Structure 1
Amino acid sequence: MYKLSEQLMQMNEGAWKRHANPLSVYTRYTALPFLALSVWSRYWLGWDALYPLLATFLWIWLNPRLFPAPKSLDSWASRGVMGEQLFLNRAQLVLPKPLLQGVHNWTALSVVGVIAMMYGLWQFNLIVTLAGMIVAMVAKTIFLDRMVKLYDHVNAATTKE
Structure 2
Amino acid sequence: MSSISFEKKIAEAFNLKDERWLKHANPWSIWTRFATLPFLVVAIWSRAWIGWFCLIPIAILIIWLFVNPTLFKAPKHLNHWGSKAVLGEKLWSERKTNPVPKHHYTPIHILTILQTLGSILLVIGLWNFHLYLTILGASIVYMAKMWFLDRMVWVFENMKNQHIE
Q: TM-score normalized by structure 2?
A: 0.90
- CA distance in 1 between counterparts of 2:93 and 2:99 reads 12
Q: What letter is aligned with 1:60? A: L
Q: How does 1:80-159 map to 2 (within 5 A)?
A: 80-155=85-160
Task: Give the count of matched residue pairs.
Answer: 157
In structure 1, distance between residues paired with 2:13 and 2:99? 26
Structure 2 residue aligned with 1:33? 38
Match of 2:12 among 7, 25, 37: 7
- Of 72, 76, 84, 1:79 maps to 84
TM-superposed deviation, 1:30: 1.6
Contact 2:91/2:100 (8 A) holds in 1: no
Unaligned runs of 5+ in 1: none
| Consecutive unaligned residues in structure 2, runs of 5 or more | 1-5
Which residue of structure 1 lines up, in the alignment, with residue 67 of structure 2? Answer: 62
Distance in 2 (alpha carbons) for counterparts of 1:93 and 1:62: 27
1:141 alignment partner AA: M
Structure 2 CA distance for aligned equivalents of residues 35 and 5 of structure 1: 19
Q: How far apart, CA to CA, are the structure 1 residues paired with 2:85 and 2:77?
A: 13
Deviates more, 1:71-80 or 1:58-67: 58-67
| CA-to-aligned-CA distance 1:87-132 (integer Å, 9 cap, x gap) | 0110122322121221111011111111111100000011110110
AA aligned to 1:67 is F
Q: Which amino acid aligns with 1:115?
A: I
- Higher mean displacement: 137-146 or 88-97: 88-97
Per-residue CA deviations over 1:44-86 (Å, capped at 9, x if unaligned) read 1111111011011011112111211100011111011111100
In the alignment, the residues of structure 2 paired with residue 4 and residue 33 of structure 1 have an alpha-carbon distance, to the nearest angstrom, of 25
- Percent identity, aligned pairs only, is 38
Q: TM-score, normalised by structure 1?
A: 0.92
Q: Within 2, Cα distance between the matches of 1:118 and 1:24?
A: 25
**Partner of residue 44, structure 1:** 49
